Structure 1
């Protein structure tokens, strides 16, 4: 009996020790996690941001990038509180997302703005496009409007309201070539270029997908304002502890290495600072 009691005490001691060790490890992980800035991103923005992450680490700031392949999950994840910020959307997209979801998110700072283009692997000019040519455009309301404005700039269509950046296909007033629109998720326009006659495209997505030379657009947009600058977005109740996000944004916006990465990834003539 004495031996049994002794064995029980030993087992209890082992269990208690294991619990204590577990709590210590968990507490250390919690502390470590609280010191890490977690940002959800689109893969197409990864390279310049990773340069900023590396530079931040040299300054004692730990940043983790989490990649999302679509344009819905980053806001869902941020609203749920699983990440500190995200970086994939511009203000028109954010405004529309908040209207549709009721999420409590806000812009924290602006990143790079990029031009967009119309690309074709079959034709070298818009005049060569046949009747009923297929055109790939984004299916979300905001970027579809941007695509239609560019098609209007190319004189392929006209819109009922030529200035409306939220137009959709039902707002087309004239379509002389009877273009047939193929609506896909924004990131997929880079891959759709192989299956259509003409595609609206983002240079950085084309470079990532390696489906076309980002510099080869038949036409680039004329936009030079910061409406479509990609934003660092946070929850409305976000508290920037120790100015971690503020410091990271400053590195992104001011680093010569980040600028070089943007030049290499987007093309020196295809992006401009959205924070100026």
Structure 2
């Protein structure tokens, strides 16, 4: 989706539903994250918290909206993504705690194993710096390529030093990877997007990341001057303690523990 179109949709969502003065507006993305925030919002009413969920269709606008004050919290990004956004845009953001850890996987609708990926095969991978690096680390873990020593999660396609199958790469915005999986030999995939799309079985991955990727747990992010806000902190506590939230997340990840983890339980 083009950035200006996504921004227009987000702006419409923000203007279409007027907020009360005491309303907590939480920006998130569709699927498991949005559904889990909505479940927590229902339970937060019992604590006197009025929560409004605002969904965005891209990974840029939620930070722009937070910076401008159009929302109070966002819940869509992990630590490396946040750190990169702060470095690139100068945001003064802080986090209030962690939520779900969505593992990533390598998926193929053409081949049954990594060994079957052909010479000169095609691979779809995320186009943003952080998630591309995460995908490359998983490809390295799977034995399909080798990266420069010490490159870490900020690696890019330029950091590939060994590519024995001469794989070629197509860069795609993360939420859209599920749409192109059938067009390539192998694709990086996000299980919750796959479950939400019903495009194919999210449990069919050929390889997955795991709890060792905890730095990629999704964060509740606020502007620094609201890091001590008791209402915002109370909402995070509701989210982390809610059985309904856990049930929603389980459904979003196909009830399969290899696809996700509740990161706050591992703090």
Measure the CA separation in 1 of the matches of 2:70 and 2:117. Answer: 47
**For 2:215, what is the secondary structure of its paired residue?**
coil
Report the counterpart of residue 161 of structure 1 in structure 2.
149
Measure the CA separation in 1 of the matches of 2:48 and 2:57. Answer: 29
Asked whether 1:249 is paired with 2:236, we answer: yes
Q: Which runs of 5+ in 1 are unaligned?
A: 1-28
Measure the CA separation in 2 of the matches of 1:268 and 1:57. Answer: 30
Asked whether 1:109 is paired with 2:97, we answer: yes
Structure 1 residues 157 and 239: alpha-carbon distance in aligned structure 2, compared to 1, 3 A threshold: closer
Report the counterpart of residue 231 of structure 1 in structure 2.
219
State the superposition RMSD in angstroms: 1.7
1:163 deviates by: 5.8
Asked whether 1:38 is paired with 2:20, we answer: no
Asked whether 1:201 is paired with 2:177, we answer: no
1:162 deviates by: 5.5
Measure the CA separation in 2 of the matches of 1:46 and 1:211. Answer: 19
Cα deviation code 1:65-103 (max 9, x no counterpart) = 100000000001100111101000000000001111111
CA contact (8 A) 2:28 2:53 kept: yes
Report the counterpart of residue 6 of structure 1 in structure 2.
none
My pick for the range that moved more, 52-61 or 77-86, is 52-61
Relative to the length of structure 1, the TM-score reads 0.85
Asked whether 1:135 is paired with 2:123, we answer: yes
Relative to the length of structure 2, the TM-score reads 0.88
Measure the CA separation in 2 of the matches of 1:165 and 1:225. Answer: 10
1:62 deviates by: 0.8
CA contact (8 A) 2:100 2:217 kept: yes
Structure 1 runs of 4+ with >4 Å offset: none
1:273 deviates by: 2.0
Asked whether 1:263 is paired with 2:250, we answer: yes
CA contact (8 A) 2:203 2:256 kept: no
Higher alpha-carbon Rg: 1
Measure the CA separation in 2 of the matches of 1:146 and 1:131. Answer: 23
Q: How many residue pairs end up in the alignment?
A: 246
Q: Which runs of 5+ in 2 are unaligned?
A: 1-16
- Select which of 106, 121, 126 maps to 1:118: 106
